[in-house]
Amino acid sequence: MAKINILDSSIYNRIAAGEVVERPASVVKEFVENSIDAGAENITVRIERGGKDLISVSDDGSGIEKSELYSAFLPHATSKIEKVEDLDEIRTLGFRGEALASVASVANVTLKSKFKEAQEAFCLTCSGGKAGEVMPCALECGTEIVAENLFFNTPVRAKFMKTDKGEESEVSSVVARFILGNPDISFKYYIDGKLSVQSFGGGLDEAVAAVYGAAAIAECYHLDAVKHGIRLRGYIGKPSYTKPNRTYQSTFVNGRFVVNNTVSSAVSNAYASYLMKRQYPFYVLFIDVPPEIVDVNVHPNKSDVRFENNQVIYGSIYSVVSAVLDGNASALEYVVKDKEDRREPSAYQNEKEASAAEPLSPNALQDAPLRAADPAPAGVPFPEAVRNPSAATPRDGITLTFHDSGAVRRQEEVPVPPAFAEQLSGKADLASSEKKTEPTAEADVFAENKRYLEMLDKKAKQQKLVFENAVYKGSLFNTYLLYEEGDSVYIIDQHAAHERLIFDRLCEEMKTRKIVRQPMLVPFVLSVNREEFAFLSDNLANIADIGFEIEEFGTNSFKISAVPVDLQDIDLSAFFSELLGEIGDLRGIRLTELLRDKIAMTACKHAVKGGMILTDSEKEKLFEMLQGDMGLKCPHGRPVAVKMTKYEIEKMFKRIV
């Protein structure tokens, strides 16, 4: 039996760092959360090389006493909780005490702090988990923490980090969420010494404008509603204001950014009847609930929460968002009509509740903005409607029976159906048996491949119906051409046939041509968010390979100066919107499929249309171009020709029974 070892702190801190510190963005998140919990009103974030070389976060918070600087780097040391009961009502962003110890074990960390009641500041350096001495230093107020050379002693982790731009994008996304989630705090964010984003702590309007631009606010509804004791506030985009992916969606539960399936499902289903496929709503939503009914300690990175009653959370969000989108009378109580110059409260985070006006009647909408009542303050028991959904009164306007349809699902492991499990097991057994089986002779392998290719060739020949004696018999509806051969008649869709011929020609030209670009008279400027910018930056070479002349153009934007000559009529906005619809690794096959769709669209535009009258020479030319191949399909999958036999026709007319 193996010997049981008691791990040294230098080892278990690195293990903990594997969960807490995934990349530079994780370090920024932990540092900024500590600043917010310290009551900071001004926070400055600096990174270099995407945070690989340097991460610095400074604030004007309450600071740390000299005697507690060492303790701050100890595992599970925290000022946020004292007893086990505190876990039931967590009101801070940080509480587990793992962050500093984990970061200090994989980086060189310097902590400077001046306690608000102290006369001087002190600093402590910790490198690779080993702390130095506490020394006096110069610092006006608050705390400044710097992490350098992240993963310097863990090269395996460093190897799996993204490019500098990729890591920079991750950090930028984290900072943007903090700006949105804490609109009453002023943020400055520097990238390689250059100021990238700044907010002034003037409220949610300013925060949204700093992250997404002022134009986004004009395309949104401003909500402030209370439903079943749950307060829902923030911005949701109008149905016409859609995005190509989910990176424009932010949810904050009691001030904490989360990605929660219950919330996202409620919003998505409310928008379902308004959005087309691959379109996503824009929203920045704050959900304030009593802390005792939400568990924030269910995810290693605290990026998700668990609600005591998912059905009520889902129903409340769905009913409010649906009412606003549908324009129901109840929406008058949810929408903030006028812009208000106020600082948005972060309920249950700092216990500073905003004073709300009395709700007005719908008739008074033109006179003053409507505001819903604030939720019950911390410590008040959660409403009975939440603990017992059947207690909801009819005037709340929703019932909870529709949740049985499965719209809300907990984030649990989905069981594999027995049949599929057996199939997987069978495949695994087959794979293992194949590994154990001796390899067959090389000649047998080639013979098997040859038989397979011959079978494919045979199928292709069967689909290619070549005929030489077809006779043109006329057209139907100026769309379908009729050709008779023997006991068969072929009905050809003139648009589908011409579209396929043009498509094949364009595809062949794309394969054999050198890249030919069509310069644009006025360059097209594409504005994107941080994640999309990093995605496109990493794949500029792939996009250029298909004929686009594209380059970075300022902050979060690109300039397209030329397009492939074959696609000179392309809708660039739609093209890049579709390209950004699947943020991730841009593989060649994905780009090829997208380009194929655009070529198909070009072919469709230039093909003869149904209903057009063709001359005899045009009909004859089109028939010759098909070369007798009646098995073709248009680029969209529709058949070019349909064959009917004399027997099938006579059976239709009951000549044959």
- Binned at pLDDT 50, 70 and 90, residue 188 comes out as very high
Highest mean pLDDT among 46-50, 372-376, 383-387: 46-50
Kind and range of the H or E element at 480? strand 480-485
pLDDT of residue 407: 36
Q: What pLDDT, in 10s, does the model give residues 317-374?
A: 999 999 999 888 888 889 887 544 444 444 333 333 333 333 333 333 233 333 333 3
For residue 438, pLDDT beyond 60: no
Which range (415-419, 533-537, 579-583) has the least confidence?
Answer: 415-419
pLDDT of residue 185: 94
- Binned at pLDDT 50, 70 and 90, residue 187 comes out as very high
Alpha carbon distances (Å) from 653 to 182, 487, 488, 646: 76, 16, 16, 11
What's the pTM? 0.61
- Binned at pLDDT 50, 70 and 90, residue 598 comes out as low
Distance CA 526, CA 528 (A): 7
Nearest to 80 by CA among 60, 66, 99, 67: 99
Distance CA 262, CA 304 (A): 11
Tokens standing for residue 554:
């300022």
Distance CA 18, CA 505 (A): 53
pLDDT of residue 412: 36
Question: What's the average model confidence in pLDDT over 201-210?
Answer: 91
Q: What pLDDT, in 10s, does the model give residues 95-130?
A: 555 678 888 888 899 999 998 888 899 999 998 778
CA 499 to chain centre: 35
For residue 387, pLDDT beyond 70: no
Alpha carbon distances (Å) from 131 to 6, 7, 71, 72, 108: 21, 19, 11, 11, 10
Which amino acid makes up residue 597? Answer: D
SS (H, E, C) 510-566: HHHCCCCEEEEEEEEEEECCHHHHHHHHCCHHHHHHCCCEEEECCCCEEEEEEEEHH
Helix, strand or coil, per DSSP, at residue 143: strand
For residue 629, pLDDT beyond 50: yes
Residue with structure tokens 């920024």? Answer: 28
Q: Any idea what DSSP says for residue 368?
A: S
pLDDT of residue 594: 62
Contact assessment for residue 641 and residue 630, using Cβ atoms and an 8 Å cutoff: yes
Higher pLDDT, 460 or 579: 579
Q: What pLDDT, in 10s, does the model give residues 243-287?
A: 888 889 999 998 888 888 899 999 999 998 888 777 889 999 999
Residues 422, 427, 433, CA angle at the centre, nearest 5°?
125
Which range (330-344, 369-383, 459-473, 514-528) has the least confidence?
Answer: 369-383
Distance CA 396, CA 287 (A): 18
Beta bridge partners of 197: 189
Distance CA 333, CA 231 (A): 13
Distance CA 112, CA 135 (A): 9
Higher pLDDT, 329 or 582: 329
Nearest to 161 by CA among 174, 150, 175: 150
Contact assessment for residue 203 and residue 342, using Cβ atoms and an 8 Å cutoff: yes
- Burial letters 612-645, b for 16+ CB under 10 A, else e: eebeeeebeebbeebeebbbbebbeeebbbeeee
pLDDT of residue 547: 77
For residue 436, pLDDT beyond 70: no
Rg value, the chain, Cα: 32
- For 624, phi then psi, to 5°, come to -65, -40
Nearest to 604 by CA among 628, 569, 573: 569
- In degrees to the nearest 10, what's the CA dihedral of 133, 136, 140, 146? -30
- Binned at pLDDT 50, 70 and 90, residue 376 comes out as very low
Contact assessment for residue 323 and residue 270, using Cβ atoms and an 8 Å cutoff: no
For residue 174, pLDDT beyond 50: yes
Distance CA 556, CA 372 (A): 37
Question: What's the average model confidence in pLDDT over 433-457?
Answer: 55
Higher pLDDT, 462 or 206: 206
What DSSP line would sit under 267-336, residue for residue?
HHHHHTTT--TT-EE-EEEEEE--GGGEE--SSTTS---EES-HHHHHHHHHHHHHHHHHT-GGGGGTB-
Higher pLDDT, 608 or 349: 608
Tokens standing for residue 112:
């400077």
Nearest to 139 by CA among 51, 38, 61: 61
pLDDT of residue 354: 37
Q: What pLDDT, in 10s, does the model give residues 526-552?
A: 988 888 888 888 778 778 877 789 998
HSE-up (13 A, CA, CB side) for residue 513:
15
Distance CA 139, CA 145 (A): 12
For residue 308, pLDDT beyond 70: yes
